[in-house]
Amino acid sequence: MGARPFAAFWRVFFPLSLPGVRSGSLLVFVLCLGFYITPAALGGLRDAMLSTFIAAQVSSSFNMARTAASAFILLGIGRGHAVPVRARSLRYPARRGTTCPKISARFVAFIRRARSLFE
């Protein structure tokens, strides 16, 4: 209503975006915490997972070359797993409001079999 762009952003858009920023930050924090705690809990004290190895290298020796190489390997492993998943999602795009007919038919057949077991 006549405000300058910066004032409109600072007084309207910025306060309205804060709940989304907080929620997104919390989701990312919980997800990252899970990726750090789960390997430590499953690996135990003797087994070193790559993420715990990187954290130990940063906190103890601060050897940046070794830490960077380990992080690059972890990034490559993650990328290697993400690329086929992304390629599959591009091959079978979901249309708005519809589901994949193969999955739907399988799911319906599974539900029918499960109902027949309990009847």
pTM above 0.85, yes or no: no
> Half-sphere exposure of residue 35, counting CA atoms within 13 Å on the CB side?
11
CA distance 76 to 52: 17
Q: What is residue 104's predicted lDDT score, i.e. its pLDDT?
A: 62
How confident is the model over 34-93, as pLDDT tens digits? 776 777 677 666 677 777 778 778 888 888 888 888 888 888 887 887 777 666 666 655
Would the pLDDT of 105 be above 80? no
